[in-house]
Amino acid sequence: MGLLDGKIAIITGSGRGIGAAAAKLFAAEGAAVVVSDLDQGPADETVAAIRNAGGKAIAVAGDVTDPAFPAQLIKTTLDTFGGLDIIVNNAGYTWDGVIHKMTDKQWYAMLEVHNTAPFRILREASHFIREAAKREQEANGRANPRKVVNVCSVSGLHGNAGQVNYATAKAGIVGLTKTLAKEWGRYNVQVNCACFGFIETRLTAPKESGEKIQREGDEVELGIPGQLRQMATMLIPLGRAGTPEEAAGALLFLASPLSNYVSGHVLEVTGGGSL
Protein backbone atom coordinates (compact mmCIF):
# COMPACT_ATOMS: atom_id res chain seq x y z
CA MET A 1 0.00 0.00 0.00
CA GLY A 2 1.36 3.39 -1.03
CA LEU A 3 0.50 6.77 0.41
CA LEU A 4 -1.00 7.83 -2.92
CA ASP A 5 -2.67 4.61 -4.06
CA GLY A 6 -5.43 5.40 -6.56
CA LYS A 7 -4.62 9.13 -6.72
CA ILE A 8 -4.11 11.12 -9.91
CA ALA A 9 -1.47 13.85 -9.79
CA ILE A 10 -0.39 16.65 -12.11
CA ILE A 11 3.16 17.93 -11.53
CA THR A 12 4.33 20.85 -13.65
CA GLY A 13 8.01 21.25 -14.44
CA SER A 14 8.56 17.54 -13.83
CA GLY A 15 10.98 16.75 -16.62
CA ARG A 16 13.96 17.65 -14.44
CA GLY A 17 15.07 18.43 -10.91
CA ILE A 18 12.60 18.58 -8.04
CA GLY A 19 9.63 17.98 -10.31
CA ALA A 20 11.08 14.81 -11.82
CA ALA A 21 12.04 13.50 -8.37
CA ALA A 22 8.51 14.19 -7.14
CA ALA A 23 6.92 12.50 -10.15
CA LYS A 24 8.95 9.33 -9.57
CA LEU A 25 8.24 9.36 -5.82
CA PHE A 26 4.51 9.95 -6.27
CA ALA A 27 4.34 7.10 -8.79
CA ALA A 28 6.25 4.81 -6.44
CA GLU A 29 3.64 5.65 -3.78
CA GLY A 30 0.83 4.56 -6.11
CA ALA A 31 -0.23 7.71 -7.97
CA ALA A 32 -0.89 7.96 -11.69
CA VAL A 33 1.23 10.96 -12.67
CA VAL A 34 0.81 13.55 -15.40
CA VAL A 35 4.33 14.74 -16.16
CA SER A 36 4.12 18.29 -17.49
CA ASP A 37 7.20 20.05 -18.82
CA LEU A 38 8.11 22.72 -21.35
CA ASP A 39 10.33 20.23 -23.20
CA GLN A 40 9.03 16.96 -24.60
CA GLY A 41 12.32 15.05 -24.23
CA PRO A 42 12.79 15.43 -20.45
CA ALA A 43 9.06 14.77 -19.89
CA ASP A 44 9.31 11.53 -21.86
CA GLU A 45 12.40 10.53 -19.88
CA THR A 46 10.58 10.95 -16.58
CA VAL A 47 7.60 8.98 -17.86
CA ALA A 48 9.88 6.20 -19.10
CA ALA A 49 11.59 5.96 -15.70
CA ILE A 50 8.21 5.71 -13.96
CA ARG A 51 6.86 3.07 -16.33
CA ASN A 52 10.07 1.05 -16.16
CA ALA A 53 9.62 0.95 -12.39
CA GLY A 54 6.06 -0.33 -12.78
CA GLY A 55 4.24 2.96 -12.33
CA LYS A 56 1.65 4.87 -14.34
CA ALA A 57 2.44 8.14 -16.09
CA ILE A 58 1.82 10.19 -19.20
CA ALA A 59 3.62 13.24 -20.57
CA VAL A 60 1.89 16.50 -21.45
CA ALA A 61 4.51 18.86 -22.81
CA GLY A 62 3.81 22.55 -23.23
CA ASP A 63 4.44 26.06 -21.95
CA VAL A 64 2.55 26.74 -18.72
CA THR A 65 2.49 30.44 -19.61
CA ASP A 66 0.49 29.73 -22.78
CA PRO A 67 -3.12 30.75 -22.00
CA ALA A 68 -4.39 27.68 -23.87
CA PHE A 69 -2.22 25.18 -22.02
CA PRO A 70 -4.21 24.77 -18.77
CA ALA A 71 -7.28 23.54 -20.64
CA GLN A 72 -5.15 21.04 -22.56
CA LEU A 73 -3.47 19.85 -19.37
CA ILE A 74 -6.67 19.33 -17.37
CA LYS A 75 -8.59 17.80 -20.28
CA THR A 76 -5.83 15.31 -21.06
CA THR A 77 -5.63 14.33 -17.38
CA LEU A 78 -9.37 13.74 -17.09
CA ASP A 79 -9.63 11.97 -20.44
CA THR A 80 -6.74 9.63 -19.59
CA PHE A 81 -7.26 8.88 -15.91
CA GLY A 82 -10.85 9.94 -15.24
CA GLY A 83 -10.15 12.20 -12.29
CA LEU A 84 -7.78 14.59 -10.53
CA ASP A 85 -6.65 14.54 -6.90
CA ILE A 86 -3.33 16.42 -6.69
CA ILE A 87 -1.88 19.47 -8.42
CA VAL A 88 1.73 20.46 -7.83
CA ASN A 89 2.60 23.85 -9.34
CA ASN A 90 6.36 23.49 -9.65
CA ALA A 91 7.30 24.87 -13.09
CA GLY A 92 9.50 27.94 -13.07
CA TYR A 93 12.93 29.46 -13.49
CA THR A 94 14.96 32.49 -12.41
CA TRP A 95 15.99 35.55 -14.43
CA ASP A 96 18.14 37.56 -12.05
CA GLY A 97 19.30 41.15 -12.00
CA VAL A 98 19.56 44.11 -9.66
CA ILE A 99 16.62 46.47 -9.88
CA HIS A 100 18.37 49.30 -11.75
CA LYS A 101 19.33 46.89 -14.52
CA MET A 102 16.14 44.81 -14.64
CA THR A 103 13.92 45.12 -17.69
CA ASP A 104 10.14 45.03 -17.78
CA LYS A 105 10.43 41.77 -19.71
CA GLN A 106 12.39 40.14 -16.87
CA TRP A 107 9.88 41.42 -14.31
CA TYR A 108 6.77 40.23 -16.11
CA ALA A 109 8.31 36.89 -17.11
CA MET A 110 8.63 35.91 -13.44
CA LEU A 111 5.07 36.99 -12.61
CA GLU A 112 3.77 35.10 -15.63
CA VAL A 113 5.41 31.75 -14.85
CA HIS A 114 5.19 31.80 -11.05
CA ASN A 115 1.81 33.52 -10.53
CA THR A 116 -0.32 33.64 -13.66
CA ALA A 117 0.41 30.08 -14.79
CA PRO A 118 -0.58 28.43 -11.46
CA PHE A 119 -3.64 30.70 -11.26
CA ARG A 120 -4.81 29.62 -14.72
CA ILE A 121 -4.19 25.93 -14.04
CA LEU A 122 -6.10 26.06 -10.76
CA ARG A 123 -8.92 28.07 -12.31
CA GLU A 124 -9.25 25.48 -15.07
CA ALA A 125 -9.16 22.61 -12.55
CA SER A 126 -11.79 24.30 -10.39
CA HIS A 127 -14.62 23.22 -12.66
CA PHE A 128 -13.90 19.53 -12.12
CA ILE A 129 -12.92 19.88 -8.45
CA ARG A 130 -16.04 21.79 -7.41
CA GLU A 131 -18.48 19.51 -9.22
CA ALA A 132 -16.76 16.33 -8.04
CA ALA A 133 -16.73 17.58 -4.46
CA LYS A 134 -20.45 18.41 -4.58
CA ARG A 135 -21.29 14.92 -5.87
CA GLU A 136 -19.15 13.30 -3.17
CA GLN A 137 -20.72 15.45 -0.46
CA GLU A 138 -24.19 14.43 -1.55
CA ALA A 139 -23.26 10.75 -1.69
CA ASN A 140 -21.01 10.44 1.36
CA GLY A 141 -21.51 13.54 3.49
CA ARG A 142 -17.98 14.79 2.77
CA ALA A 143 -15.91 15.30 -0.34
CA ASN A 144 -12.79 13.23 -0.88
CA PRO A 145 -9.62 15.09 0.16
CA ARG A 146 -7.70 16.70 -2.69
CA LYS A 147 -4.40 18.54 -2.65
CA VAL A 148 -2.78 21.60 -4.15
CA VAL A 149 0.92 22.09 -3.49
CA ASN A 150 2.49 25.32 -4.72
CA VAL A 151 6.27 25.53 -4.85
CA CYS A 152 7.80 28.63 -3.31
CA SER A 153 11.31 29.78 -2.39
CA VAL A 154 12.95 31.39 0.61
CA SER A 155 13.45 34.37 -1.70
CA GLY A 156 9.70 34.91 -1.53
CA LEU A 157 9.70 34.91 2.26
CA HIS A 158 12.93 36.72 3.10
CA GLY A 159 14.00 38.43 -0.13
CA ASN A 160 17.26 37.94 -1.99
CA ALA A 161 19.49 40.57 -3.56
CA GLY A 162 19.38 40.38 -7.34
CA GLN A 163 16.00 38.65 -7.39
CA VAL A 164 13.42 41.39 -6.94
CA ASN A 165 11.28 39.87 -9.71
CA TYR A 166 11.57 36.26 -8.54
CA ALA A 167 11.13 37.16 -4.85
CA THR A 168 8.02 39.20 -5.60
CA ALA A 169 6.52 36.38 -7.67
CA LYS A 170 7.25 33.77 -5.03
CA ALA A 171 5.73 35.99 -2.35
CA GLY A 172 2.66 36.10 -4.56
CA ILE A 173 2.34 32.32 -4.64
CA VAL A 174 2.14 32.39 -0.84
CA GLY A 175 -0.82 34.76 -1.07
CA LEU A 176 -2.48 32.55 -3.67
CA THR A 177 -1.96 29.51 -1.42
CA LYS A 178 -3.46 31.08 1.69
CA THR A 179 -6.43 32.51 -0.20
CA LEU A 180 -7.28 29.31 -2.05
CA ALA A 181 -7.05 27.34 1.20
CA LYS A 182 -9.92 29.49 2.46
CA GLU A 183 -11.94 29.34 -0.76
CA TRP A 184 -11.57 25.58 -1.29
CA GLY A 185 -11.81 24.36 2.29
CA ARG A 186 -15.52 23.76 1.68
CA TYR A 187 -14.55 21.24 -1.01
CA ASN A 188 -12.09 19.44 1.31
CA VAL A 189 -9.09 20.63 -0.71
CA GLN A 190 -5.92 21.21 1.29
CA VAL A 191 -3.82 23.96 -0.29
CA ASN A 192 -0.25 24.35 0.93
CA CYS A 193 3.08 25.76 -0.09
CA ALA A 194 6.52 24.11 -0.03
CA CYS A 195 9.18 26.78 0.35
CA PHE A 196 12.60 25.55 -0.70
CA GLY A 197 16.01 26.84 0.23
CA PHE A 198 19.21 25.70 -1.49
CA ILE A 199 18.31 22.56 -3.43
CA GLU A 200 20.74 21.16 -6.02
CA THR A 201 19.09 21.73 -9.40
CA ARG A 202 20.16 23.36 -12.64
CA LEU A 203 18.81 26.66 -11.24
CA THR A 204 21.37 26.49 -8.42
CA ALA A 205 24.23 24.82 -10.32
CA PRO A 206 27.53 26.74 -10.66
CA LYS A 207 26.95 29.62 -13.08
CA GLU A 208 30.36 28.80 -14.51
CA SER A 209 28.84 25.65 -16.02
CA GLY A 210 27.31 27.96 -18.60
CA GLU A 211 23.81 26.43 -18.80
CA LYS A 212 21.28 28.70 -20.46
CA ILE A 213 17.66 28.57 -21.56
CA GLN A 214 15.76 30.52 -24.20
CA ARG A 215 12.83 32.50 -22.78
CA GLU A 216 10.88 35.43 -24.14
CA GLY A 217 13.28 35.63 -27.09
CA ASP A 218 16.29 36.06 -24.81
CA GLU A 219 19.06 33.79 -23.56
CA VAL A 220 18.77 33.41 -19.78
CA GLU A 221 21.78 32.28 -17.77
CA LEU A 222 21.04 29.76 -15.04
CA GLY A 223 22.96 29.00 -11.87
CA ILE A 224 24.72 30.76 -9.02
CA PRO A 225 28.33 32.03 -9.01
CA GLY A 226 30.61 29.52 -7.29
CA GLN A 227 31.62 31.88 -4.46
CA LEU A 228 27.98 32.61 -3.60
CA ARG A 229 27.17 28.90 -3.65
CA GLN A 230 29.92 28.28 -1.11
CA MET A 231 28.72 31.11 1.11
CA ALA A 232 25.14 29.85 0.93
CA THR A 233 26.19 26.40 2.07
CA MET A 234 28.01 27.89 5.04
CA LEU A 235 24.76 29.51 6.21
CA ILE A 236 22.83 26.21 6.24
CA PRO A 237 22.90 24.54 9.69
CA LEU A 238 22.95 21.07 8.10
CA GLY A 239 26.04 22.17 6.20
CA ARG A 240 24.96 21.23 2.69
CA ALA A 241 22.42 21.81 -0.04
CA GLY A 242 19.37 19.59 -0.25
CA THR A 243 18.77 17.02 -2.96
CA PRO A 244 15.80 16.96 -5.33
CA GLU A 245 14.73 13.70 -3.66
CA GLU A 246 14.69 15.37 -0.24
CA ALA A 247 12.63 18.23 -1.68
CA ALA A 248 10.24 15.71 -3.21
CA GLY A 249 9.68 14.19 0.24
CA ALA A 250 8.19 17.46 1.45
CA LEU A 251 5.90 17.56 -1.57
CA LEU A 252 4.80 14.00 -0.88
CA PHE A 253 3.85 14.89 2.70
CA LEU A 254 1.72 17.82 1.52
CA ALA A 255 0.12 15.68 -1.21
CA SER A 256 -0.64 12.68 1.00
CA PRO A 257 -3.30 11.80 3.59
CA LEU A 258 -0.71 12.67 6.27
CA SER A 259 -1.61 16.34 5.66
CA ASN A 260 -5.39 16.04 5.56
CA TYR A 261 -5.76 18.67 8.31
CA VAL A 262 -2.95 20.92 7.13
CA SER A 263 -4.06 23.76 4.86
CA GLY A 264 -2.89 27.29 4.14
CA HIS A 265 0.56 26.36 5.48
CA VAL A 266 4.00 27.40 4.20
CA LEU A 267 6.49 24.60 4.86
CA GLU A 268 10.10 25.78 4.77
CA VAL A 269 12.46 23.09 3.48
CA THR A 270 15.84 24.69 4.07
CA GLY A 271 18.13 22.48 6.15
CA GLY A 272 17.50 24.82 9.08
CA GLY A 273 18.47 28.06 7.32
CA SER A 274 16.38 30.97 6.16
CA LEU A 275 18.41 32.40 3.26
The DSSP symbol for 2 reads -
pLDDT for the residue numbered 204: 78
Burial (CB count within 10 angstroms: exposed 0-12, middle 13-18, buried 19+), residue 225: exposed
Neighbours of 34 (CB within 10 A): 28
- Measured CA to CA, the distance from residue 121 to residue 114 in angstroms comes to 11
For the full predicted model, state whether its pTM sits above 0.85.
Answer: yes
Structural domains in the chain, CATH included, are 8-203+244-269 (3.40.50.720)
CA-closest candidate to residue 77, choices 15, 38, 31: 31
Give whole-number Cα distances, 121 to 47, 87, 186, 261, 273, in Å: 21, 9, 19, 24, 31
Contact 9, 32 (CB under 8 A): yes
- Provide mean pLDDT across the span 106-125: 98
- Measured CA to CA, the distance from residue 110 to residue 203 in angstroms comes to 14
Of 29-43, 176-190, 211-225, least confident by mean pLDDT is 211-225
Residue 19 has pLDDT above 60, yes or no: yes
Contact 49, 24 (CB under 8 A): yes
For residue range 45-98, list pLDDT tens digits in order.
Answer: 999 999 999 999 999 999 999 999 999 999 999 999 999 999 999 999 999 999
Contact 89, 12 (CB under 8 A): yes
Helix (H) or strand (E) holding 37: strand 32-37
Largest Cα–Cα separation, the chain: 59
CA-closest candidate to residue 195, choices 164, 165, 173, 224: 173
Is 166 annotated as catalytic?
yes
The DSSP symbol for 225 reads -
Catalytic residue among 93, 108, 166, 187: 166
- Measured CA to CA, the distance from residue 149 to residue 62 in angstroms comes to 20
For residue range 148-207, list pLDDT tens digits in order.
Answer: 999 999 999 999 999 999 999 999 999 999 999 999 999 999 999 999 999 998 777 666
Output phi, psi for 115, to 5 deg: -115, -60
Contact 228, 206 (CB under 8 A): no
- Provide mean pLDDT across the span 218-235: 74
